[in-house]
Amino acid sequence: MIVTETAEKIKSMEIRGAGRIARTAAEALLAHATGCVTNDLDTFRREMKAAAQTLIATRPTAVSLPNAVHLVMAGLDDAPTTGEAREGVIERASRFVESSREAVGKIARIGARHIRDGDVILTHCNSEAALSCIIEAHREGKNIEVFATEVRPRNQGLVTIRTLNTAGIRTNFIVDSAVRSFINDVDLVIVGADAVTVNGAVVNKIGTSQVAHSAHEARVNVLVAAETYKFAPRTVIGELINIEERPGSEVLPDEIARTLSNVTVRNPAFDVTPAEYIDMIVTEEGAIPPQMAYVIIREYLGWGIEEFHKAFEINTRHEE
Ligand code: RI2
């Protein structure tokens, strides 16, 4: 029940933001494990795996979601009893939620070091990780000002400006298409990430690549705030990040769209910013140039060379 409800809320974006999605999915698995009263180990495993699949299927781009689910499910097949299997899920889910929260705090402190007194910062969409850096810099007494975009079609910019307003940070609210007009007034761009690929490309809210392109042209630094679990291990074996395309009705009401028979509304939720347009990725383990993404995947997600071989074998077997 909790899993179905959580899945619905993630799909409809009532729960959104890559980090929050991951934590909520881990909490739903924890609740499912607790509520699943069976003493039969196979039934328990089957129930947990079905719940994991339901959660992963909700949003295809934010790699934080499958990464979190895999962390929680790791070891389920090795547990000798139902009790230990259940305890394992509960323990790993709690640990993930806690470490995810701690990661945001660490990113805030590391990111804030790269914000100078007097900086004007531009942010796009609503990223907990990105905002934590900005709020921490303000808390440290730096005099900063922010430009926040509207973020069509779901207007996540409204959440951002409310948070910044509550924090007491001077903020300018602009439409997405005004970024280039203001980029020369900006010292630093800070955004979040839904996924980071092995070659340092950042997948984030649609429009991020336009923002980064404008910043690059104006020689404004671009900083990405991303927890290590947003790095995508399977991109090492050539898997591409699936860009979610959401219903056209989010962009244009169906009543209007229906009257325009030659018009198709396209609504990709994310885009890809190449590593060349990114100066730094701030993770909880430190700030790295995007080209070092592989190190994070290897060192912190535990994807050593054997895992890649295993995944590669599975991949080629699928293709046969
Ligand atoms: P945090 C969001 O996706 C935005 O693209 C945001 O930049 C990213 O997740 C990371 O957010 P959506 O759920 O994890 O709004 O830093 O589609 O909060």
pLDDT per residue as tens, the chain (320 positions): 799 999 999 999 999 999 999 999 999 999 999 999 899 999 999 999 999 999 999 999 999 999 999 999 998 999 999 999 999 999 999 999 999 999 999 999 999 999 999 999 999 999 999 999 999 999 999 999 999 999 999 999 999 999 999 999 999 999 999 999 999 999 999 999 999 999 999 999 999 999 999 999 999 999 999 999 999 999 988 899 999 999 999 999 999 999 999 999 999 999 999 999 999 999 999 999 999 999 999 988 876 656 656 655 655 555 54
Return phi, psi of residue 40, to 5°.
-90, 120
Q: Does the beta carbon of 204 sit less than 6 angstroms from any atom of ligand 1? A: yes
82 Cα to the center of ligand 1, angstroms: 35
Q: Which residues lie across from 147 on neighbouring strands?
A: 122, 172
Compute φ and ψ for 227, nearest 5 degrees.
-65, 155
Residue burial 245-261, b: 16+ Cβ < 10 Å; e: rest: ebebeeeeeeeeeeeee
Instruction: Sort strands 280-283 and 221-225 into parallel, antiparallel or unpaired.
Output: parallel
Instruction: Kindly give the distance from the C-alpha atom of residue 57 to the centroid of ligand 1, in angstroms, as a whole number.
Output: 17
Ligand 1 atom index nearest CA of 13: 13
Start-to-end CA distance of the chain, whole Å, equals 37
pTM: 0.94
Q: How far is CA 180 from CA 52, 174, 220, 233, in A?
A: 42, 11, 11, 33
Residues with catalytic function? 125, 194
Evaluate: CB of 125 within 6 angstroms of ligand 1: yes
18 lines ligand 1 (CB under 6 A): yes
Q: Which of 156, 159, 203 to mutate to test the pocket of ligand 1 (most atoms within 8 A of CB)?
A: 156
